[in-house]
């Protein structure tokens, strides 16, 4: 019996490591994808609003690092641990 392993991707803004697809593929933003953690939407937040990953991350953290989809936030969520997924320290 063959089991297909589920692949997840990391958000370049907040380090959330359970995105179903990459934010960008071959440099093209996946505009239908919004990070369930920080709410970043490629092609909108960067292109339309002019955010860099760092600027969006800093503003998100300054505003309390609230989850975009609060109902999906893990009980033992740790922001610093998650940020390590993108090496921002």
Task: Quickly list H helices, 1-89.
Answer: 53-62, 79-83
**Structure-token match 């860099």, residue found:** 52
Question: Does pTM surpass 0.85?
Answer: yes
SS3 4: coil
What is the reported pLDDT for 6? Answer: 72
Which residues on neighbouring strands pair with residue 83, listed in sequence order? none
Q: Is pLDDT at 89 greater than 70 in this prediction?
A: no
Q: Is pLDDT at 5 greater than 80 in this prediction?
A: no
Q: How confident is the model at residue 71 (pLDDT cuts 50, 70, 90)?
A: very high
What's the mean pLDDT in 38-43? 97
What is the reported pLDDT for 3? Answer: 62
Distance, C-alpha 58 to centroid of its chain: 13
Within a 13 Å sphere around the CA of 7, how many CA atoms are in the beta-carbon half? 4
| Average pLDDT for the chain | 92
């Amino acid at each position: 019996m063959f089991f297909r392993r589920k692949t997840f991707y990391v958000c370049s803004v907040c380090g959330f490591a359970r995105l179903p697809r990459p934010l960008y593929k071959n440099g093209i933003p996946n505009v239908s994808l919004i990070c369930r953690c920080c709410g970043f939407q490629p092609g909108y937040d960067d292109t339309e609003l002019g955010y860099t990953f760092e600027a969006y991350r800093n503003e998100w953290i300054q505003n309390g690092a609230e989850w975009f989809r609060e109902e999906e936030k893990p009980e033992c969520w740790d922001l610093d641990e998650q940020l390590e997924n993108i090496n921002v320290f």
